[in-house]
Amino acid sequence: MKKALITGVNGMDGSHLADLLLEKGYEVYGIERRSSVKNRINTKHLESNEKFHFITADMTDHNSLYRALKDSEPDEVYNLAAQSFVGSSWNIPMQTSDVNGLGVLRLLEAIREYQVVQGSSKQIKFYQASTSEMFGKMVENPSKETTPFYPRSPYGVAKLYAFWMVKNYRESHNMFACNGILFNHESERRGIEFVTRKISDGVARIKLGLQDKIALGNLDSKRDWGYAPDYVEGMWLMMQQDEPDDFILATGHSHSIREFLDIAFDYVGIDNWENFVVQDPRFFRPAEVDVLRGDATKAKEILGWESKTSFNDLVRKMVKNDLERLGEKL
């Protein structure tokens, strides 16, 4: 039985990945930060699974990460922990850099030290959740693995530091360490502060008469949106290769916030969504990323991976879930 350690297990990707690995017969250990109130909305269904275990550790604390490795003895480590909200990274740039950048270095170093202690018999495979935000200004559209990076936020800059540190440890210490450069992907488990979930939740509330307006920022920005359960499968496939490498996961199509609104409001039978959406200057970024689109040809050819869920289906799944969730409370 393989063992996997997932950081950020309570997040959207972490919880979907835990589901996938458990289905494949893994024993899964999920890292969560110490907190007086546990945030297990996405993982509550796993608490009774005897093959799933929570471990307390923190990306800002090297010793806790090392202890997590000792406790779990993993074959694979998936680093999905991050300060994941791009908009907040301008307000908390140092924390974002500490967790998203230096946190990855701490984890890589903990793995290297642990493997030295264990000897050559224990090789741990490492996956780093990189991001399309590293491309930022989009020097090339669509972006490929060879496209130059141009991050436009503290979040993107911190992730780029981590990306290069992973490559450095791979080449310097012969570690199996790979970067998954994932373009935007969403699901019903997305945090409420993200624009996609803010829309799906807001549309559901408007339909149910619980609110009147949705406040958003730039409606013209375009993103390459896929479905998170499809993307965690790509993460797993990267870790099953004989040699580590970096891969883009993307749909190859970009859609605007306006298109997301079109589908979401149409799903609940509301026309003229402009009457229910207001633009708020607080939600505009200091440096905007206008469009992101990725080319996943390499992942398709080598991993056999491609996005399965359409943009329309993704939006409808999210709105349907929020309608059902809120409807149960009425």
* Six token digits for residue 254: 């970009």
> Are residues 239 and 107 located together in one domain of the fold?
yes
- Which amino acid is present at 86? V
Compute the C-alpha angle 151/152/155, nearest 5°: 75
With CA atoms as reference, report the closest residue to 33 among 78, 2, 71, 64: 64
Helix (H, G, I), strand (E, B) or coil at 223: strand
Q: How many domains does the chain have?
A: 2
> Are residues 147 and 107 located together in one domain of the fold?
yes
296, part of any domain: no
271, part of any domain: yes
> Are residues 243 and 258 located together in one domain of the fold?
no
95, part of any domain: yes
> Are residues 199 and 263 located together in one domain of the fold?
yes
**Which one of 7, 43, 96, 131 is the catalytic residue?**
131
**What's the count of helices (H) and strands (E) in the chain, helices before strands?**
10, 13
12, part of any domain: yes
A 10 A CB-CB count for 10 gives: 25
> Are residues 34 and 156 located together in one domain of the fold?
yes
pLDDT digits (tens, 9 = 90+) for 1-59: 999 999 999 999 999 999 999 999 999 999 999 887 788 999 999 999 999 999 999 99
- Which amino acid is present at 286? P
**Which one of 32, 133, 186, 188 is the catalytic residue?**
133
pLDDT of residue 285: 77
Helix (H, G, I), strand (E, B) or coil at 142: coil
> Are residues 93 and 132 located together in one domain of the fold?
yes
> Are residues 159 and 60 located together in one domain of the fold?
yes
| Helices 257-267 and 195-207: angle between axes, nearest 10 degrees | 30
> Are residues 213 and 179 located together in one domain of the fold?
no
> Are residues 36 and 105 located together in one domain of the fold?
yes
> Are residues 16 and 80 located together in one domain of the fold?
yes
| CB-based contacts of 4, cutoff 8 Å, min separation 6 | 21, 26, 27, 28, 29, 74, 75, 76, 77, 78
pLDDT of residue 87: 85
**Which one of 29, 78, 127, 155 is the catalytic residue?**
155
With CA atoms as reference, report the closest residue to 185 among 261, 133, 246: 133
pLDDT of residue 52: 98
Question: Which CATH number fits the domain that encloses residue 111?
Answer: 3.40.50.720
pLDDT of residue 121: 66
Element (H, E) at 29: strand 27-32
pLDDT of residue 263: 98
Kindly list the averaged pLDDT for each block of 10 residues, start to end, along the chain of length 330. Answer: 97 98 98 87 96 97 97 97 90 96 98 87 91 93 96 96 98 97 97 94 97 94 96 98 98 97 97 94 80 96 97 98 89
Domain of residue 97 covers 3-186+225-249
With CA atoms as reference, report the closest residue to 78 among 231, 243, 193, 197: 231
| Helices 195-207 and 311-329: angle between axes, nearest 10 degrees | 50
203, part of any domain: yes
CA distance 208 to 303: 43
48, part of any domain: yes
303, part of any domain: no
pLDDT of residue 290: 84
> Are residues 171 and 54 located together in one domain of the fold?
yes
> Are residues 211 and 90 located together in one domain of the fold?
no
Question: Which CATH number fits the domain that encloses residue 207?
Answer: 3.90.25.10
pLDDT of residue 313: 98
Element (H, E) at 199: helix 195-207
304, part of any domain: no
Query: Is 155 annotated in the active site?
Result: yes
